[in-house]
Structure 1
Amino acid sequence: MDTIKLGKFIGALQRRFQTATNRELTLPEINASNANFLLFISEHDRVTAKQITTELAINKGLVSREMTRLENAGYVTRVPDATDRRATWVSITPKGLTACETIRQIKQALWDQVLVDTSAADVEVFFNQLASLSERAKVFDHLQ
């Protein structure tokens, strides 16, 4: 097996899903990239930009720009940490939660199209393998 092609396939999947998601999204100031940020934030009570950067493997500058965009649009709020002036807590707003429902529906519909002939058991195996690989790939985080 040519494992080098794994990167090609994963990258192509990501780009195609980004393009399809952008085509389907009609929410103001939301694109496929910051939609993923919003979903991540919605899954936590509050997070820091550093947590978003680390967990989603996105550069700090992009996260900062998108957090400003999402905050200005009313999807998130940012509050400075009272004990650490360098940290800012990001929380989702009710408007952000509503947007996340729409984003999840769009993403689910896209995956349903791609996985139409795949059994639930195979999807579960695929999911677990990708989750494991993603965890192992965190060894590369120190290179940033």
Structure 2
Amino acid sequence: MDQVLDRRKEEEHSDFKFISDSMIDIYDSIMRIEESEIRKSRFKDVTAKELHLIHAIGLHAHKTTSEVANYLKLSKGTLTANINTLERKGYVKRVPNQVDRRIINLELTDKGRILFRAHSAFHSALVKSVLDGFSDDNVEIIEQVLKRLLGFIDEVSDK
């Protein structure tokens, strides 16, 4: 009986290690691929961090600086510095809010929208490759796992 329990603990440890290592490898690989693809594209002047900021602003949302800062969990000062850079590079523009001129909305320029669409296409291909061959039930389980993981990340990052 003890051998069965010891073996199960070993298997659980192995599963845990595989999942932990895989999460790290996946994150690192995606970041490396994004950086590499950016360097090969016409968008060489953008970093992966700036790319994710462009993605957070979105195509048509006209988000405020506060909304983007909260979403990315950045200070307003850090966001302002990054927006200044992206504005100078021609990807983002600040637009005064029509209702309250004290509020600044962020919009992507045409150049920013093209980059956004290219980044979205990459992520779409990535998701399709992950889900290919899974049943709807399995996809629901994957969604539940990811929601749980995102909930944990939100919980930890809010501390």
Task: Tell me if 1:94 matches 2:110.
Answer: yes
- TM normalised by structure 2 equals 0.66
Task: Tell me if 1:130 matches 2:143.
Answer: no
- Listed one character per residue, the Cα deviations across residues 80-115 of structure 1 (whole Å, up to 9, x for unaligned) are 557475x532112222111111112233344555x2
- TM normalised by structure 1 equals 0.71
CA distance in 2, matches of 1:60, 1:10: 29
Match of 1:24 among 30, 34, 37: 37
| Aligned equivalent of 1:119 | 134
Match of 2:94 among 65, 75, 78: 78
Percentage of pairs with the same residue:
20
AA partner of residue 30 (structure 2): F
Using a 3 Å threshold, how does the CA distance of structure 1 residues 135 and 44 change in structure 2: closer, same or farther?
farther
Task: Tell me if 1:42 matches 2:58.
Answer: yes
Q: Using the TM superposition, name which of 43-52 and 93-102 deviates more.
A: 43-52
What is the RMSD computed on CA atoms of the aligned residues?
A: 3.2
Aligned length: 141
Is the helix fraction higher in 1 or 2? 2
| Aligned equivalent of 2:72 | 56
AA partner of residue 71 (structure 1): E
CA distance in 2, matches of 1:10, 1:56: 20
Q: Using the TM superposition, name which of 74-83 and 39-48 deviates more.
A: 74-83
Point out which structure has higher relative CO (alpha carbons under 8 A, 6+ apart): 1
Using a 3 Å threshold, how does the CA distance of structure 1 residues 11 and 63 change in structure 2: closer, same or farther?
farther
- Listed one character per residue, the Cα deviations across residues 106-135 of structure 1 (whole Å, up to 9, x for unaligned) are 33344555x276526334532343134313
Using a 3 Å threshold, how does the CA distance of structure 1 residues 92 and 14 change in structure 2: closer, same or farther?
same
Check whether the contact 2:91–2:108 (CA below 8 A) recurs between aligned residues: yes
Using a 3 Å threshold, how does the CA distance of structure 1 residues 62 and 118 change in structure 2: closer, same or farther?
farther
AA partner of residue 88 (structure 2): N
